[in-house]
Structure 1
Amino acid sequence: MPSEEWFAVLPDGPAALAAVCTLRPRADRIVAHDSGRPWLLGRWADGQVTVARTRKARIAVIGRCSVTAAELTALLGQVDDLAEVERVARPLAGSFHLIASVGGRVRVRGSASGVRRVFHALMDGATVASGRCDVLAAAIGAPVDEEVLVTRLLAAGAVHPVEERSTWRGVTAVPPDHCLVIEPDGRSGLRRWWTVPEPVLPLAEGAEALRQALSAAVDSCTAGGGTVSADLSGGLDSASLCFLAAHGPARLVTTHRRGADPVNSDAVWAERARAALPEAEHHSVGQEEAPLWFAGVHGPYPPLEEPGAWVRDTARLADLARRMSMAGSRLHLAGHGGDELFSVTPRYLHDLVREHPAKAPAHIHSHCIRFRQPLRPLLRALAEHTTYADWLRLAVEEMDALPTAPTEPSMAWGPALRMPPWATPEAVRTARTLFREAVAAGPEPLAPYRAQHTAVQYARTAGAAVRRIDQATTRSGLPQAAPCLDDPVMEAALSVRLHERAGRTAHKPLLTAAMDGLVPAPLLARTSKGDYSTDFYIALARHRAELLELFDGSLLAGMGLIDTSVLRAALLVPHPTPHIVTHLSQTLACETWLRSLNRPAHRPTSTPTGRAR
């Protein structure tokens, strides 16, 4: 059971008795159903849970939300059915779990981006939910699900619908767009609570909606006053958050980490932003003043909920938490999710050709000029029309193919699914089997449009990263917030027409329009983006010996999932290729996660070594 904050949600009936007996001794907080039975158990700080009660219903908001109990009670009003609960959350800003108890039935949901997730498990036949999968795993003594763990080695990380599988056997993850409904007898089922919006709003209307949503999201961070901190990388996402936060009641402290590459212009733009924020306190940290990527790979390894590629930043995050805590910060804001929601991948051209063919030629022409893309291969890619299930089926069969430089742009439903070159044949077979099972179920995409599907998938990936970063920095005394991934912000961004969200020449035209008048015009005019590949390679060179030593005693290798001789050879190449670097982050995440556990992994008997591909 983790020592930091956690909560569990119990059914309102005798079936919950075993769960109460298991969890209550480990909890220091309890909130009851109307019946008096335990509803919420766990450990959380003051102000993290807001509860409202009426004669017929109870509702709890857990997380970042400035709503008061009185305001929440007024919103709850005459709700007497679970189907009506979602309207209570409609006016709320922030990032939170929403939990309701009405007439003996319980409803639990997280956020659409997955920053807040819901997991559930059976305890003596009754469903128990939690915002953390490791809480449930500890309660039921669950082993690691090796089949799911193998898929986390993919360069793309978790992919729909396999992303919805937990790495703990016996613990089930609820899809971010679904809620869990628990009956009094402990049975449970899923209901959809969120649907990807149709991208139909014109840019001007969508910009106003985004302006209001992002302002409210940042207000939920600064409403408590005191001091908050924020990244000021030099990019538009972080700058927008800083200027919005500067208007709030909290004192603002910004931080910028200077890159090693002299041609990286982020430092110049960050300095311009600092000059326009004279009331804030600004910190700038050089390369030699703070840990690099991969520092501290030898541990110690605190309990980790699930594998996450951001484990390579463990020492950097601890350093950030220390510096900002010393500056008085109670919450740190970061721009995660901005690239995923305010930019659009070139896949929008595939959608545009079919939905608005008259508009497509101008956008195709601009794309060819902007990215120096030959027209003929682009047209070939635009003509492809496979379904999501068909794309996934083909991608799975190429899982162990050697990476090659792309000869034409990808308009596919997602990135190539590639296992690392050091994955063993058994690992590849296991991953392929699990994905084939997913394909056999006929998965639908997250949205009918490819660019929209990709945006949601990438936002979920960012949400998973933010959840793990927040757990790491909260442990060091500084919670994290990613306002760009709050539900209303995500809803506003995804509602705008794809070709207007993409723009033909402008960088992030939607965010630029939304921040007009709030962020100085010269900062909105930036069209470039900083590159940190030099920093990454410097860090890899400095910590290569530690990485080699770590994998010499690899637990993944002991499970038969990776070949350390191949991994060692890849690390010893003077300048590893980018795909090696990406794979390394995922492999490191899985390795350190296993080392943070006190229990062995489960070796599935259903996946024999000799199974055909």
Structure 2
Amino acid sequence: MTDEVWFAALPDGEAGLAAAHVLRPWATRLISHDSGRPWLLGCWPDGHVTVGGAGVGRLAVIGRCPVTAGELSARLSRIRDLADTERAVAGLAGSFHVAASIGGRVRVRGSASAVRRIFHARVVGATVAASRADRLASAIGASPDERFLALQLLSSPPPYPLADRCVWRGVEGLRPEDSLLIEPDGRARAQRWWTPPEPALSLAEGAYGVRGALAAAVETCTADGGTVSSDLSGGMDSTSLCFLAARGTARLVTLRWQGLDPGNDDAIWAGRATAELPGIEHVVPEFSRSPLWFSGLTDLRMTTEEPGAWVRDGARFRALAELMKSRGSRLHMFGGGGDELFTAFAPHLHDYVRSDPLAAFARIRRQRAFQQWPLWPVLRGLADRRTFAQWLAAWADHLTQPPPARAHRAPSVAWGTELRLPPWATPDAVHAVQGLLREAAGAVEPLAPQRGQHAALSHVQGGGRGARQMDQVTSGMGLEYAAPYLDDGVIEAALSVRVAERSAPGRYKPVLATAMRGIVPDTVLARTTKGEFGADFYAGLHRNRTALVELFEDSRLARAGLIDAGAVRASLLGFHPRPDALRSLDPTLGCELWLRSRPDRRAVMSAALTGGAP
């Protein structure tokens, strides 16, 4: 048995029996179709899977959802076939996968936020869906695809549509908005199950829906009683979760890490929040006992299915799990998704100028004066008429160009951020990523017709993938990691608000602040700042520089032909006036440590980069 939580969904036929035989050695749990053949197998804790049955049908909710088996059975009895599956689970709160087996056919899907994902592969001739790509990769003997490892070197996690691609050869990632239908003979096809809401509600209307959805999401975390924990950084996102959780049936423990940066006022705002939460245990470890960024990397084993940029916090995740488990916590909440949902990203200005020019230019004028944006880059961006596909193709040409100097930088109102590859990426790595971008540009539509809503959805799904990896890390240590803002009910409510109203001059996250009024004290909701962590970055780099340099003495990425290890070491030993100068270090570290954590530590081949067979 492994510490990993996973499941696979099998077709209801002879093909499924053969696939089950391959996967069974890794599994400790098994749930059957009505036919008696294996349907769901894997490893999961008690209470993680709830199954209802009616007639010859089975319906499973897998993850965090307080629905009972009886309630699922009643819901299932009201539908006739797989096409009605979403009607059977409509209105359920939480974060979960859905799997159905009706009349010999199977349907499975994850969540719209990408916190829960589905992957699929052909296992001895049958399509098998699974919640973890690496489990399928083990079953079919797959190795990482170097093209997609190169993609992971970008300065931030790859955005849509590249983020949907799987790093393992022979394993396909399903788009979050799609479900997978599997026939008894093992054939399968994708079918859309979710469409983003139209952003048509006013701030007041939308805030009402956000309030109810977020309260329901937090209640799914506290409903089982016992002890739960949460970050209480001082920011509005985690603070709101704590005040909602304090109203539940579970005992609450909060956690705040101390920071070094003198510009970080998190402690002041966290103190105001804790003063309004009497009777709650608040944990604030001494700074001298808190792991610095980049600590413990030589001992870090990455248990995630793909590389991740979270590795600089690896030691802190271990410490978090130990601290909260020692106080009895079974689940830890964090505010991931709050920034993505309640911030109007710059691309919305491109839409705003076209829908309400006078209001848009008034807002741009105020923001230019406050943030000192240069005029001509802003105007050029607003005049840009490229489609999403055209923007992707142009991005491919700019992969290695340095970004504009900060003094001349205006916010991009394009479809997304044109991420860069680091200076230590090899020409082969650059060529691979350019090829993937141009391939994607050949036939792709944006997540939404408007740039602002597309950017919001892309950021939400990026946040969901990050939350998914963090949960894989801490769940392996026995502590579930939950991001209630990224529950589907919350993102539906938040993304229904008009994009331009998600920001307002002089107000910080106005939709969330309005939604939480009366639950979170006004003195706490009044915050308009965000914490700074530059000093923490420098302290961690200074303390762990030698270990970081040594990691690249025998680099797996260099063996694969993806990076110049000497260039990485030179950058680590150089002078960095701003943390931005090493922005690409985190994803490169994530890739390097992920490769070192694979059971087979042999160097990966680079045939895919040079045109070899996949």
Going from structure 1 to structure 2, the CA distance change for 1:94 and 1:286 (only over 3 Å counts) comes to: same
Shift of 1:45: 0.8
Shift of 1:601: 6.1
Check whether the contact 2:244–2:519 (CA below 8 A) recurs between aligned residues: yes
Which residue does 2:412 correspond to in 1? 410
Counterpart of 2:524, as a letter, is L
Shift of 1:602: 5.3
Counterpart of 2:458, as a letter, is Q
Question: Is 1:424 matched up with 2:426?
Answer: yes
Show the 5 A alignment for 1:59-70. 59-70=59-70
Show the 5 A alignment for 1:477-488. 477-488=478-489
Which residue does 1:73 correspond to in 2? 73
Show the 5 A alignment for 1:462-611. 462-575=463-576, 577-599=578-600, 600=602, 603=605, 605=607, 607-608=609-610
1:572-595 Cα distance to aligned partner (Å, 9 max, x none): 113264344220000000001101
1:29-57 Cα distance to aligned partner (Å, 9 max, x none): 11111111110011111100000000142
Which residue does 2:343 correspond to in 1? 343
Distance in 2 (alpha carbons) for counterparts of 1:520 and 1:299: 43
1:413-444 Cα distance to aligned partner (Å, 9 max, x none): 1112211100011111111122221122x211
Which residue does 2:219 correspond to in 1? 219
Distance in 2 (alpha carbons) for counterparts of 1:197 and 1:180: 22
Task: Report the aligned-residue RMSD.
Answer: 1.6
Check whether the contact 1:304–1:596 (CA below 8 A) recurs between aligned residues: no
1:54-113 Cα distance to aligned partner (Å, 9 max, x none): 014211011011111111122223212111110122211100001111111111110111
Distance in 1 (alpha carbons) for counterparts of 2:133 and 2:122: 12
Going from structure 1 to structure 2, the CA distance change for 1:156 and 1:10 (only over 3 Å counts) comes to: same
Question: Is 1:148 matched up with 2:148?
Answer: yes
Distance in 2 (alpha carbons) for counterparts of 1:55 and 1:602: 49
Check whether the contact 1:146–1:601 (CA below 8 A) recurs between aligned residues: no
Check whether the contact 2:5–2:475 (CA below 8 A) recurs between aligned residues: no
Distance in 2 (alpha carbons) for counterparts of 1:304 and 1:2: 13
Counterpart of 1:259, as a letter, is G
Question: Is 1:387 matched up with 2:398?
Answer: no
Question: Is 1:255 matched up with 2:255?
Answer: yes
Distance in 1 (alpha carbons) for counterparts of 2:432 and 2:394: 16
Shift of 1:197: 1.1
Shift of 1:359: 2.6
Counterpart of 1:378, as a letter, is V
Distance in 1 (alpha carbons) for counterparts of 2:553 and 2:95: 41
Distance in 2 (alpha carbons) for counterparts of 1:297 and 1:79: 51
Shift of 1:160: 1.6
Distance in 2 (alpha carbons) for counterparts of 1:262 and 1:602: 44
Show the 5 A alignment for 1:98-113. 98-113=98-113
- Three-state SS of the structure 2 residue aligned to 1:224 is coil
Check whether the contact 2:373–2:409 (CA below 8 A) recurs between aligned residues: no
Shift of 1:299: 2.0
Going from structure 1 to structure 2, the CA distance change for 1:3 and 1:229 (only over 3 Å counts) comes to: closer
Q: Which runs of 5+ in 2 are unaligned?
A: none
Check whether the contact 1:51–1:58 (CA below 8 A) recurs between aligned residues: yes
Counterpart of 2:403, as a letter, is P
Check whether the contact 1:229–1:254 (CA below 8 A) recurs between aligned residues: yes
- Three-state SS of the structure 2 residue aligned to 1:24 is helix
Counterpart of 2:167, as a letter, is T
Going from structure 1 to structure 2, the CA distance change for 1:173 and 1:2 (only over 3 Å counts) comes to: farther
Shift of 1:563: 0.5
Shift of 1:224: 0.4
Which residue does 1:49 correspond to in 2? 49
Distance in 1 (alpha carbons) for counterparts of 2:164 and 2:95: 20
Check whether the contact 1:56–1:79 (CA below 8 A) recurs between aligned residues: no
Shift of 1:301: 1.5
- Three-state SS of the structure 1 residue aligned to 2:298 is coil
Check whether the contact 2:347–2:416 (CA below 8 A) recurs between aligned residues: no
Pick which of 127-136 and 357-366 moved more.
357-366
Distance in 1 (alpha carbons) for counterparts of 2:349 and 2:402: 28
Distance in 2 (alpha carbons) for counterparts of 1:211 and 1:606: 48
Distance in 1 (alpha carbons) for counterparts of 2:42 and 2:221: 23
1:440-459 Cα distance to aligned partner (Å, 9 max, x none): 2x211111111211111111
Distance in 2 (alpha carbons) for counterparts of 1:184 and 1:9: 12
Which residue does 1:448 correspond to in 2? 449
Which residue does 1:195 correspond to in 2? 195
Counterpart of 1:253, as a letter, is V
Show the 5 A alignment for 1:265-284. 265-284=265-284
Distance in 2 (alpha carbons) for counterparts of 1:553 and 1:430: 23
Going from structure 1 to structure 2, the CA distance change for 1:447 and 1:291 (only over 3 Å counts) comes to: same
Check whether the contact 1:145–1:601 (CA below 8 A) recurs between aligned residues: no
Distance in 2 (alpha carbons) for counterparts of 1:212 and 1:232: 21
Distance in 2 (alpha carbons) for counterparts of 1:333 and 1:227: 12
Pick which of 81-90 and 418-427 moved more.
81-90
Shift of 1:385: 1.5
- Three-state SS of the structure 2 residue aligned to 1:218 is helix
Which residue does 1:237 correspond to in 2? 237
Going from structure 1 to structure 2, the CA distance change for 1:283 and 1:17 (only over 3 Å counts) comes to: same
The alignment's TM-score, normalised by the length of structure 2, stands at: 0.97
Counterpart of 2:212, as a letter, is Q
Question: Is 1:128 matched up with 2:128?
Answer: yes
Which residue does 1:186 correspond to in 2? 186
Going from structure 1 to structure 2, the CA distance change for 1:417 and 1:37 (only over 3 Å counts) comes to: same
Shift of 1:2: 4.5
- Three-state SS of the structure 2 residue aligned to 1:179 is strand
- Three-state SS of the structure 1 residue aligned to 2:446 is coil
Counterpart of 1:566, as a letter, is A
Which residue does 2:160 correspond to in 1? 160
Distance in 1 (alpha carbons) for counterparts of 2:565 and 2:361: 49
Distance in 2 (alpha carbons) for counterparts of 1:388 and 1:59: 38
Pick which of 509-518 and 598-607 moved more.
598-607
Going from structure 1 to structure 2, the CA distance change for 1:91 and 1:328 (only over 3 Å counts) comes to: same
Distance in 1 (alpha carbons) for counterparts of 2:51 and 2:369: 55
Q: Which runs of 4+ in 1 moved over 4 A?
A: none
Distance in 1 (alpha carbons) for counterparts of 2:21 and 2:309: 36
Check whether the contact 1:15–1:185 (CA below 8 A) recurs between aligned residues: yes
1:306-331 Cα distance to aligned partner (Å, 9 max, x none): 10111221110000110111111110
The percentage of counterpart residues that share the same residue type is 53
Shift of 1:389: 0.7
Distance in 1 (alpha carbons) for counterparts of 2:410 and 2:470: 35
Shift of 1:487: 0.2
Check whether the contact 2:303–2:472 (CA below 8 A) recurs between aligned residues: no
Question: Is 1:433 matched up with 2:428?
Answer: no
- Three-state SS of the structure 2 residue aligned to 1:330 is strand
Distance in 1 (alpha carbons) for counterparts of 2:279 and 2:386: 54
Counterpart of 1:460, as a letter, is Q
Counterpart of 1:119, as a letter, is F
Distance in 2 (alpha carbons) for counterparts of 1:119 and 1:601: 25
Distance in 2 (alpha carbons) for counterparts of 1:8 and 1:426: 35
| Alignment coverage as a number of residue pairs | 609
Pick which of 404-413 and 528-537 moved more.
404-413
Which residue does 2:314 correspond to in 1? 314
Going from structure 1 to structure 2, the CA distance change for 1:434 and 1:346 (only over 3 Å counts) comes to: closer
Check whether the contact 1:95–1:116 (CA below 8 A) recurs between aligned residues: yes
Check whether the contact 2:576–2:582 (CA below 8 A) recurs between aligned residues: no
Show the 5 A alignment for 1:295-306. 295-306=295-306
Check whether the contact 2:374–2:409 (CA below 8 A) recurs between aligned residues: no
Distance in 1 (alpha carbons) for counterparts of 2:206 and 2:376: 34
